Chains A and B, each alone.
Chain A
Amino acid sequence: AQKITQTQPGMFVQEKEAVTLDCTYDTSDPSYGLFWYKQPSSGEMIFLIYQGSYDQQNATEGRYSLNFQKARKSANLVISASQLGDSAMYFCAMRELTGTASKLTFGTGTRLQVTL
């Protein structure tokens, strides 16, 4: 069974600084995808970034990058140059790419607060 662990319930970061949100995962499927979503207080889930298990390079999307360490089973999200609008819940999620199960499994989330 797949499992996602986010050990940081809350994080603070100053505006313009970088922050790393931790995520570890467990799966027996050799082929999987890792996702990060942002959930502002309004509730909608916004897709940020994707990393495939066979991707050689770490994924980047603008100010977001994913620090993928396959041997350690970690997929940390790095946000550079934090902005006040980055304050939100952040969820790490995984989807096995083979087998019959297709659902995304989410971690418990990290609440990020960006301060002046």
Chain B
Amino acid sequence: EAGVTQSPTHLIKTRGQQATLRCSPISGHTSVYWYQQALGLGLQFLLWYDEGEERNRGNFPPRFSGRQFPNYSSELNVNALELEDSALYLCASSVTWDRSYGYTFGSGTRLTVV
């Protein structure tokens, strides 16, 4: 069974540009979660998508947005990039019907804003 896949692995962007990060969940998982992990810090919740809808978002500005496609894959878009957006962005997937089921994480996209 394929795990959660994220692309690209690394991304370098200039301040003010837009970045698009992609995530494919495990087959059968309908929920996708995005987290930001700045260097040396913990995981900050960004967004939760389930069945194509945004269900919850963390305390991030509107320039962080995303969507979930009919095949449950997801995109995270970051507009007007700022230097402090440099971080590891982790995607995770899970089933919705059993919350005792944990998340399975991808390997992350490391975004560097210069």
Contacts and interface: CB of A to CB of B under 8 A. Distances in A.
B99 A103 contact: no
A101 interface: yes
Contacts of A50: 100, 102
A5 to B, nearest CB: 11
Given A42-B107, A44-B106, A44-B108, A97 B88 contact: no
Interface residues of A, number: 25
A35 B102 CA distance: 7
A108 interface: yes
Q: Is the interface of B mostly helix, strand, loop or mixed?
A: strand
Contact of A44 (B42, B43, B105): B105
A98 B33 CA distance: 18
Given A35-B102, A43-B110, A47-B103, A102 B96 contact: yes
Interface residues on B, range: 20 to 34
Interface string A27-45: 0000001010100001111
Contacts of B72: none
B64 interface: no
Given A43-B90, A45-B43, 16 more contacts: A35-B102, A37-B105, A43-B88, A44-B105, A44-B106, A44-B107, A45-B90, A91-B43, A95-B102, A96-B99, A97-B99, A102-B31, A102-B50, A103-B48, A104-B45, A108-B42
Interface of A: 33, 35, 37, 42-47, 50, 52, 91, 95-97, 100-109
Interface of B: 31, 33, 35, 41-43, 45, 48, 50, 55-56, 88, 90, 92, 96, 99-100, 102-108, 110
